[in-house]
Amino acid sequence: MTELVVTLDLDGVTDKAGLMDRCARVLQLPDWFGRNWDALADSLSDHDVWPQDAVEKGLLIVVRNWQPYAKARPQEWETAQEVFAQAADVASALTVALALGGSSEEGSDQPG
């Protein structure tokens, strides 16, 4: 079985509020999501809010374009990483990966 993959692109995210909004939208978090660190941890580790079949197949969240946010708000980013790690520890079917490098569009103009 192949894991379900969700890309959490943080392009343009500059603060915690932006991160929470992006997580809520991309991860389709429930209305009760409180847009704080505890609520994010609870939501990520709650199988009831995961996409269909994610519990059986596993859920891989790939975080892209996180470097500008990490540079702008290093303490917040450290907390975000701790939340991702905690949720992955609690929910064994969850993996959170930080993508390195630029976006997939970079280099697409290059002659092949």
Span 39-57, pLDDT tens digits: 999 999 988 888 888 888 8
Spatial contact of 86 and 38, defined as CB atoms under 8 Å apart: no
- Report phi then psi at 109, rounded to 5: -85, -10
Q: What is the reported pLDDT for 102?
A: 61
Give the domain extent around 68: 4-98
Task: Answer whether residue 104 is part of any domain.
Answer: no
Q: Which two tokens stand for residue 78?
A: 């450290």
Name the stretches of the chain with pLDDT < 70. 1, 102-112
CATH no. for residue 14? 3.30.370.10
For residues 111 and 3, what is the distance between their CA atoms, to the nearest angstrom?
A: 33
* Residue corresponding to tokens 């990966």: 97
Whether 103 is covered by a domain: the verdict is: no
Q: How many domains does the chain have?
A: 1
